[in-house]
Amino acid sequence: MPEFCKAERDGHVLIVTIDRPERMNALHSPAHYELSEIFDNFENDPELWVAILTGAGDRAFSAGNDLKWQAEGGTRARPATGFGGITFRYDRSKPLIAAVNGIAMGGGFELALAADIIIAAENAIFALPEPLVGLAALAGGLHRLPRQIPMKQAMGMILTGRRVPAKEGYQLGFVTEVVPEGQALTAAKRWAGDILKCSPLSIRASIEVVREGMKHASVEDAVNAQYYAVDAMRESEDFIEGPKAFAEKRKPAWKGR
């Protein structure tokens, strides 16, 4: 059983909680490997369609890298899937929602940026403060943030390490929704429920097309690229079930295959 995080199934949803509140949910090497295994299992389980990532307690989503662990002589080893087993998981095919319930600093912000949707409580704070301690946000933050908000706004955050509250994050565009303090996970579950109304294969196809399409300079090249998840969608039982349910005026019974 994991020691530094929790994984709970709720139907087709997996709720993953970083469980180190005494360290503001900062991550050390053992936690990285635990999370990587959890997300490996999530990716490989055909009955899990959406994941939510949050932090234990009401103070922090994740304060990022556990610098105390390093100061105490702990190893800096991490899995190939990156910080929290997420930031270098470039082939992730299922939707991930970050329920940010407090501080998301450094690697914690990079975890959130690697998700598809960010739900932030009003007390959430985001920052990439690495330069203030002689480091840099190399777990994807320096690449993802300028791709998700205007470049000058991203550079303003990156070059100062300044803290951005949830409402400003929403105005900048990297936060999907701001909710009252203590309601981030509840709202994330609502979003997950809305996603589950859709065909899981359509969702996976959409994720792949958006992610891989961004690698192309022109819309024409992106449209004409090969997308394997689209092929899987078109060959699935759900591809038949969707139009059939619409014609019969009923809710579709998605199978995910």
Which residues are part of the catalytic machinery? 110, 130
- Distance separating alpha carbons of residues 169 and 21, to the nearest angstrom: 24
- Distance separating alpha carbons of residues 130 and 222, to the nearest angstrom: 34
* Residue 66: Cβ within 10 Å count: 24
* Residue 76: Cβ within 10 Å count: 11
Quote the radius of gyration of the chain (alpha carbons, Å): 19
Q: How far is CA 228 from CA 59, 121, 146, 205, 235, in A?
A: 41, 36, 27, 8, 11
Say if CB 240 and CB 252 are below 8 A apart: no
C-alpha 206 chain-centroid distance: 16
Alpha-helix residue ranges (DSSP H) falling in 92-218: 107-113, 141-148, 151-158, 166-172, 184-196, 200-213
- Distance separating alpha carbons of residues 31 and 51, to the nearest angstrom: 18
